[in-house]
Amino acid sequence: MGSSQSMRKNETILKSRVKMLEKKLKAESKRNNFQKIRMKRAEQQIRHELEELKVRNKALEDTCEKRTPCCGICWRPYQNNEAMIPRILSCGHTLCESCGLKLAKSSYVECPFDRIKTPMFFNGIQSLPKNFTILQLANVSRQS
């Protein structure tokens, strides 16, 4: 009689242990799934960045080929229209207007190449002088 009792005791211990292990396994697989989702997201992110880099690389190759002067931040070719007008900072560096707008604070723009601040007037980035030399070069490269 004593041995059957202890057997039953062992059984219940084993059952509870199995239950615990099942719980653990469930939690583990949940964590695994979560990890998988995160990995997938990271992979998508990387793929997306790669696509963007490819586009940028293509733009770079194109402009190098044509020797078109480009903004050193966004690598788009300068043009004599609003977004791509080359603007000269007081440090001597030139930026396109759209990049200048992105970098502009209320009263100054900080040069992304050397961090020198160029003060701006009420009309912001448009108060900075146009770089006509660059525009001339851009025209020449477009015509040739």
Residues that bind Zn ion (CB under 5 A): 71, 73-74, 91, 93, 96, 99, 111, 113-114
Q: Give the residue among 92, 73, 91, 101 at the shortest CA–CA distance from 133.
A: 92
Least Å distance between CB 136 and Zn ion? 18
93-124 residues labelled b (16+ CB within 10 A) or e (exposed) = bbbbbbbbbebbeeeebebeeeeeebebeeeb
Least Å distance between CB 101 and Zn ion? 9
Least Å distance between CB 90 and Zn ion? 8
> Do 18 and 25 contact (CB within 8 A), yes or no?
no
* Smaller CB separation from Zn ion, 43 or 82: 82
* Smaller CB separation from Zn ion, 96 or 125: 96
* Smaller CB separation from Zn ion, 71 or 104: 71
> Do 123 and 85 contact (CB within 8 A), yes or no?
no
Least Å distance between CB 31 and Zn ion? 44
* Smaller CB separation from Zn ion, 33 or 111: 111
